[in-house]
Chains A and B, each alone.
Chain A
Amino acid sequence: MTAGRFVLHAAAWAVVVFLMVPTLVVVPMSFGPAEHLQFPPNGFTLRWYGDYFADPDWMSATWFSVRAGIIAAVGATVVGTMTALALVRGRVIGRRILDLLIVGPIVVPHIALAVALFLVFDRLRLNGTLVGFAIAHTVLAAPFAIFSVLAALYRFDADLEMAALSCGASRLRAFWHVTLPLILPGVLSGAMFAFIISFDEAVISFFISDIDGKSLPRKLFEDIDYNLTPVVAAVASLLSVVSIAVLVGGHVVGRITARRRAG
């Protein structure tokens, strides 16, 4: 019994090490002074981070991704909230087909959607444009926003909305003053997820970028393939920190809003 337990726990923690360590190995290497990546690093420098912030190509790709991420987050959250409301409160005809459509962008391989969008965007001259990225990333992130708001709506006490309606509030007013404030944690965490999905998205970005308009993951992709300098390690480390910070931030914001509303 105890021997079996020990083996089980040892196996589980070994898997945790396998999950975490490879990604973490890059971080100390990004501080190494050598021109090529070394482990363990034989010194400490912030030079590669400086190079990243001083490089106009890296900076323009970064700002491009930030803008695309914000547009996609807002778009996916608005569309996702409307869809979730329709699913919970509405009369939906063809619910099973709608369910399939919602999981569509998640289960369809990204490579399929990437080349399909590349083909259509080429004809519409949307490749390498912010509009193109915003459209592509909104469709990718919308299902996650829908699930996030759906979860919040299921936890929400519908009688509160009913009370507002029976006191004479219009649907819109009841939603704005009663429902939305109470499901806000779900809406906000949906927006955070949507931003990260867009900001980290590499496959569609790889295809619909061009020389003038490229996202950070596309630039990173090119540099991993052609020029393995420690700058790439610095960018990779920064990207992980941003993802984790946004997620933890989203979690905390959700918690605080939930507590404030409850208290």
Chain B
Amino acid sequence: MNAITSARHLSATATAALLTPFLALLAIAFLLPLGVLLYESLFVPAPTVQHYAKVFDDPVYVRVLWRTLRISAIVTVATLVLAYPLALVMTRSRGAVLALLVACVLLPLWTSVLVRTYAWTVILQRNGIVNQLLQELGWTSGPVRLLYTEGAVALAMAHVLLPFMVLPIWAALRNIPDDYARAAAMLGASPLRIFVEIVWPLSRPGVASGCLMVFLLSMGFFVTPALIGGPQQMMMATLVSQQVRELLNWPFAGALVGCLLVVTLGLVLAFNRTLGLDRFVGSR
């Protein structure tokens, strides 16, 4: 027995050898760059927390921070409301219908974020489809400015991030045995009561996982705010970009990234403790 288990497992040396390329890659292309950037934020020009203080003191940056939190919260709630019914119907579908629904969730996920955001710039531009429709219906007399508004950013981000909410909720709903609902129905529970007392509580890990993923992605989202929000609707990521590309203010950009990393790490660790990291990984 012992011989078999030891043969099944690789030696510590072999394990280390197999892990070396990945760890080396992470060290060079992940940990080192982030470390250098954080060093800039804390030690340039001298050891200081002034760059971090600026994020929370300067009203211009506080506004960006609040806008980022607000849009992220709106996007998280909106995707949850949109994703849940779809995930529920996916659980109850079979065969070709299920395959079609799964394809409709997965294909956007693997289509470039840039392409999906571009579609919204086309739809929302001055002479775009929405403005044409509004004028034909007689609701507005001239084109309305839709791009560069907070609503447009939230709408496009909800569209782009929706699959990240659907998949974990679907995974959680799929794991609920049919018997529970059937048993409750036989005992006379109404569909609403079955949902409130059985389905919703058991799907909560998936809901938590989806909300965490969407909120995290929203906080650091760059492409959609850059193309649809513009400088008028600056979010954390677009502010970082402006500091780096236009002002070459590396220490302040580092501090903004530091704040984002603290939020990310905090949420991931909190989530890890309550639900386990493997669940998070499994949801992908």
Residue numbers of A with Cβ under 8 A of B are 1, 4, 8-9, 11-13, 15-16, 18-20, 22-23, 25-26, 29, 36-37, 39, 78-80, 82-83, 85-86, 89-93, 96, 98-120, 135-136, 138-139, 142, 144, 146-147, 158, 162, 165-166, 171, 196, 200, 202-203, 206-207, 217, 220-221, 224-225, 228, 232-233, 236, 239-240, 243-244, 247
Given the known inter-chain contacts A111-B260, A116-B34, A243-B110, please indicate yes or no for A23 contacting B115, CB distance below 8 A: yes
Asked if A89 contacts B9 (CB within 8 A), the reply is yes
Asked if B122 contacts A25 (CB within 8 A), the reply is yes
Closest 6 A-B residue pairs measured CB to CB?
A109-B220, A90-B15, A116-B33, A12-B89, A86-B18, A200-B112
Main secondary structure of the interface of B (DSSP, over half): helix
B159 to A, closest residue via Cβ = A22
Asked if B114 contacts A82 (CB within 8 A), the reply is no
Given the known inter-chain contacts A25-B123, A135-B28, please indicate yes or no for A115 contacting B240, CB distance below 8 A: yes
For A202, the chain B residues whose CB sits under 8 A away are 112-114, 222-223
Instruction: Sample 29 A-B pairs with CB under 8 A, ordered by A number.
Output: A9-B89, A12-B89, A15-B83, A19-B108, A22-B116, A22-B123, A23-B115, A26-B122, A39-B132, A80-B22, A82-B19, A82-B21, A86-B15, A90-B19, A92-B19, A98-B19, A104-B26, A104-B30, A108-B261, A109-B217, A111-B260, A116-B36, A135-B29, A138-B25, A147-B281, A200-B111, A224-B117, A228-B125, A236-B112
Asked if A116 contacts B257 (CB within 8 A), the reply is yes
Other-chain contact of B257, A11, A78, A83, A115 (Cβ < 8 Å): A115
Residue numbers of B with Cβ under 8 A of A are 4, 7-12, 14-15, 18-19, 21-23, 25-26, 28-30, 32-34, 36-37, 40, 82-83, 85-86, 88-90, 101, 104-108, 110-123, 125, 127-129, 132, 159, 162-163, 191-192, 216-217, 219-223, 226-227, 236-237, 240-241, 244-245, 250, 253, 257, 260-261, 264, 268, 272, 277-278, 280-281, 284
Per the bound structure, the CA–CA distance linking A20 and B85 in Å amounts to 16
